[in-house]
């Protein structure tokens, strides 16, 4: 049985990744802030696995969900304990939780936006990385995938705070790759351009007014999930550092 931890699993890319890994037979530990959505995703993953023709010899499959704030240290500690109580081995960890505030012009942003974005997008990744790395080092294998953005490798005239958070994520991952070299543990980022997720029309999470932006040509959450799963299933002799997904 392979076992995967996914943060930000209650919608969007995290939800799509959870469903795809369920199809691949991974048992899952899912976390996110929205408890009701998290339960919905977990139930969907259970249903997907039941529908897949794995045969009678398929390994046991479990989905566990637990809500929490990835940037709260106490929540992170609890979530890691819960995750490891179901399996001492983590084959894949997808650090996907993030928010998209701070997308306007730099001079129009606020300190409150800066603090909020850095707290979730950077601190949330950091808190899980420093707990996952020792666990995966001890087991001698595993894949960590961090959802970043093209904004983490290419800045633009707007979105300075969001860009800063993703550039910071790139730095954390680059340093972690150096520290994990030779350990058998791999880490990389998936860097999508615009993705058509519910965030775009959720003002409370920093999105736009409904219909204000044409997202018809954006990537889908399934597009990004496919790249995340590909990284998780790469061969023993490859070590993908980054997958960049551009819009057509």
Residues annotated catalytic, as ranges: 162
Helix (H, G, I), strand (E, B) or coil at 146: strand
- Residue 92 · residue 2 · CB < 8 Å: yes
Nearest C-alpha neighbor of 3 from the set 12, 16, 24: 24
Q: Which two tokens stand for residue 32?
A: 């996110």
- Residue 169 · residue 125 · CB < 8 Å: yes
Please return the burial class of 183, using the count of CB atoms within 10 Å of its CB with bins 0-12, 13-18 and 19+: middle
Side-chain-side CA neighbours of 227 within 13 Å: the count stands at 24
Q: What angle do CA 120, 156, 187 make, to 5 degrees?
A: 45
Helix (H, G, I), strand (E, B) or coil at 81: helix
Helix (H, G, I), strand (E, B) or coil at 103: coil
Q: Which two tokens stand for residue 54?
A: 């794995």
Query: What number of helices (H) and strands (E) belong to the chain?
Result: 7, 9
The length of the chain, given as a count of residues: 248
């Amino acid at each position: 049985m392979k076992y995967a931890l996914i943060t930000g699993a209650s919608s969007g890319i995290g939800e799509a990744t959870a469903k795809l890994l369920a199809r691949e037979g991974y048992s899952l530990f899912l976390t996110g802030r929205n408890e009701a959505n998290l339960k919905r995703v977990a139930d969907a993953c259970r249903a997907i696995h039941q529908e897949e023709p794995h045969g009678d010899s398929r390994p046991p499959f479990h989905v566990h969900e637990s809500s929490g704030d990835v940037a709260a240290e106490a929540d992170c500690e609890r979530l890691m304990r819960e995750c490891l109580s179901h399996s001492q081995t983590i084959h894949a960890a997808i650090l996907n939780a993030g928010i998209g505030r701070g997308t306007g012009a730099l001079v129009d942003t606020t300190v409150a936006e800066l603090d909020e974005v850095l707290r979730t997008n950077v601190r949330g990744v950091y808190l899980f990385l420093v707990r996952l790395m020792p666990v995966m080092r001890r087991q001698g294998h595993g894949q960590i995938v961090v959802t970043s953005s093209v904004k983490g490798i290419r800045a633009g005239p707007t979105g300075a705070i969001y860009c800063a958070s993703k550039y910071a994520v790139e730095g954390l991952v680059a340093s972690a790759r150096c520290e994990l070299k030779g350990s058998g543990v791999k880490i990389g980022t998936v860097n999508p351009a615009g993705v058509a997720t519910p965030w775009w029309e959720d003002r409370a999470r920093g999105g736009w007014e409904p219909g204000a932006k044409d997202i018809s040509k954006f990537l889908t959450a399934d597009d990004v999930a496919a790249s995340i799963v590909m990284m998780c299933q790469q061969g023993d002799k490859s070590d993908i550092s980054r997958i960049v997904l551009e819009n057509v």
